[in-house]
Structure 1
Amino acid sequence: MCTDRLVLALVDRDRVAAVSRFAADPVASTVAAQAAGLAVTTGEVEDILARAPDLVVLGAYNAATTAPMLRQLGIQVHVLAPGNGIAETLAAIRALARDLGSEAAGEALVAAIEAGLAAQPQPERRLRAAIYQAGGWSAGSGTTADDLLRAVGMDNVAAEAGLVGFASLPLETLVAAHPDLIVVESMGEEAPSIAGEVLRHPALAAGGARRVTVPMRLWACPDAALIEAAALIAGAGR
């Protein structure tokens, strides 16, 4: 999904031989309109070879087995770094842009993200916020979400509680922290689930924290959608 989004942000559509099945999904993708009509690859090596690409861009999580096979067959592979934090995110954009021969587009995208985040309004006083997802998962230190909170003048309750990366934040810990804002990640109109029940727990409302919903697609990948995610959070903190 993230490779689709970044490649389509950095090169002309006619240079893209195929995208993944996620590219045209409006719930997960910010480039669904751009991806419409493009060929869709299964991601299998045989399917990739049939398209005779000059470069294959893989996500870090599906590269372990696919990348070595493609390289043995003489195909250039770029593995997109996960981007744990905004600095790593911008570095990943620059690295991909170099392999695509689109350095100017990469620098323009990096500059747009930096300017968009810097332009977000700051709260009158520093707020404390928590990211909360279905199942009680949260984003601690070393994550892009944590960097976004700090960029808009907020401290991360999960990081204060010692969470690093994505980990479970017990509801009791969250409520006892008395956050000013709870940022709920949404994947769309989810069906009722046991994991999602924690987001509707009355204890969350009883604490008086403001609440804002951020669609997953806005901060799932290292691209300009981060600006919109930051704007939603900053707006909720005003």
Structure 2
Amino acid sequence: MKRLWLTGLLLGSALCVAGIAIEWPAGKPVAVAASPSTKAPQRIVSLNLCADQYLLALADRDQIAGLTRNAIDPDMSAAAAQAKGLRLLKGSAEEILAIDPDLILGMAARRGGVMAALSGEHYRSVDVTLANSYADIVAQVRVIAQAVGHPERGEALIARMDRDLAAIPRRQDTGVAAYYQRRGYLTGTGTLVDDLMTRVGLVNLAGRIGKPALSQLSLEELMVAQPDYLIVESAAERVMDQGTEMLHHPMLRDIKRLPLPQAWTVCGGPAYVRAAQSLADQLRAAPARRSAAFTS
């Protein structure tokens, strides 16, 4: 449930990874990101979950003036442990005005009262998007590292991620997988999960059957498609409600499951590497039966 809510929220933001300049409200420039000569900001505020995680990876702790309330939720944030002890924002404009940030990272997806109140203050800011590929993640790291005053830290992080990903064996034709979520939601092509599948040699079922980035697929339709694997959120490995109950239907018993924490995939960032390593390790440990539907 959390993932679907968050994904919808971030998709609705229409942010741009290269979008250094922000207009808010329409036609009115609100802020511009840091240039190479700008002094490193000392009171950085994050306004979305993805921004929290990049900020924790790239800034000094004493630069961070506030994170979102979800920053310490391990089910949603891959950096929840690092966020402990830092200030969590309640989301009011008054709170942000009191901090008087010298950088706002990750503009709010919903342009409600908070941002309307801040729009006339001309705070420097940097957008953070919903990453749909590893290339998006690399671009975000560079933009944010520059903005927080640590470009070298960003390049070091990218080098580590590149090295760790290169160590994952490249496999071809590993099988067909469905990223299947509560209530039958299916993640399609052009998404970060799809990018992960390709990296470890999996074919995304959604692409095979012509589904968009997010759709619903009934159990009956899934069984007709016969994927080799189901990639599921780790939390859904236990029945919590009707939405997760369908993931434990007897019809799915014989399909190999590849569990992943949703916190590793919803925002991208350094956790992308962990997700790729986990998928590759699980595929090596337990190859699935090949589905008759897609075996030539």
Both proteins in one fold, TM over 0.5: yes
Q: Does 1:61 align with 2:109?
A: yes
Instruction: Name the CA shift for 1:143/1:70 in 2 (closer, same or farther; >3 Å).
Output: same
On the 8 A contact 2:58/2:145 being kept in 1, the answer is yes
Q: Does 1:150 align with 2:150?
A: no
**2:214 maps to which residue?**
166
Instruction: Name the CA shift for 1:64/1:88 in 2 (closer, same or farther; >3 Å).
Output: farther
Instruction: State the distance in 1 between where 2:118 and 2:156 align.
Output: 30
Kindly provide the amino acid, as one letter, of the partner of residue 148 in structure 1: L
2:126 to 78, 84, 93: 78
Q: Does 1:33 align with 2:84?
A: no
1:188 to partner: Cα distance: 7.0
Kindly provide the amino acid, as one letter, of the partner of residue 224 in structure 1: P
Instruction: Name the CA shift for 1:69/1:105 in 2 (closer, same or farther; >3 Å).
Output: farther
Tell me which moved more, 142-151 or 44-53.
Answer: 44-53
* Largest Rg, 1 or 2: 2
**2:14 maps to which residue?**
none
1:112 to partner: Cα distance: 2.5
Instruction: State the distance in 2 between where 1:187 and 1:57 align.
Output: 29
**1:20 maps to which residue?**
68
1:45 to partner: Cα distance: 1.3
Instruction: State the distance in 2 between where 1:158 and 1:170 align.
Output: 13
Tell me which moved more, 111-120 or 194-203.
Answer: 111-120
Instruction: State the distance in 2 between where 1:61 and 1:139 align.
Output: 21
Kindly provide the amino acid, as one letter, of the partner of residue 153 in structure 1: G
Instruction: Name the CA shift for 1:188/1:100 in 2 (closer, same or farther; >3 Å).
Output: farther
Q: Structure 1 or 2: larger helix share?
A: 1
**1:119 maps to which residue?**
167
Instruction: Name the CA shift for 1:88/1:129 in 2 (closer, same or farther; >3 Å).
Output: same
1:159 to partner: Cα distance: 1.5
Identity percentage over the alignment? 36
**1:222 maps to which residue?**
268
**1:195 maps to which residue?**
243
**1:50 maps to which residue?**
98
RMSD of aligned residue pairs (Cα, Å)? 2.2
Tell me which moved more, 188-197 or 85-94.
Answer: 188-197
2:177 to 114, 129, 139: 129
Instruction: State the distance in 2 between where 1:164 and 1:112 align.
Output: 32
Kindly provide the amino acid, as one letter, of the partner of residue 53 in structure 1: P
Secondary structure, in 3 states, of the residue corresponding to 1:220? coil
Instruction: State the distance in 1 between where 2:280 and 2:111 align.
Output: 35
Instruction: State the distance in 1 between where 2:111 and 2:181 align.
Output: 27
Tell me which moved more, 136-145 or 161-170.
Answer: 161-170
Q: Does 1:235 align with 2:281?
A: yes
On the 8 A contact 2:235/2:261 being kept in 1, the answer is yes
Instruction: Name the CA shift for 1:66/1:98 in 2 (closer, same or farther; >3 Å).
Output: farther
1:68 to partner: Cα distance: 5.5
On the 8 A contact 1:122/1:153 being kept in 2, the answer is yes
Q: Which runs of 5+ in 1 are unaligned?
A: none
Instruction: State the distance in 2 between where 1:189 and 1:45 align.
Output: 39
1:170 to partner: Cα distance: 2.7
On the 8 A contact 1:93/1:222 being kept in 2, the answer is no
**1:209 maps to which residue?**
255
On the 8 A contact 1:90/1:222 being kept in 2, the answer is no
Q: 1:16-66 deviations in whole A, cap 9, x for unaligned?
A: 011111112222222223221111111221111111110111256245664
**2:294 maps to which residue?**
none
Secondary structure, in 3 states, of the residue corresponding to 2:263? helix
1:82 to partner: Cα distance: 1.4
Secondary structure, in 3 states, of the residue corresponding to 1:40? coil
On the 8 A contact 2:188/2:206 being kept in 1, the answer is yes
Q: Does 1:94 align with 2:142?
A: yes
Kindly provide the amino acid, as one letter, of the partner of residue 199 in structure 1: L
Question: What is the aligned residue count?
Answer: 236
Q: Does 1:179 align with 2:227?
A: yes
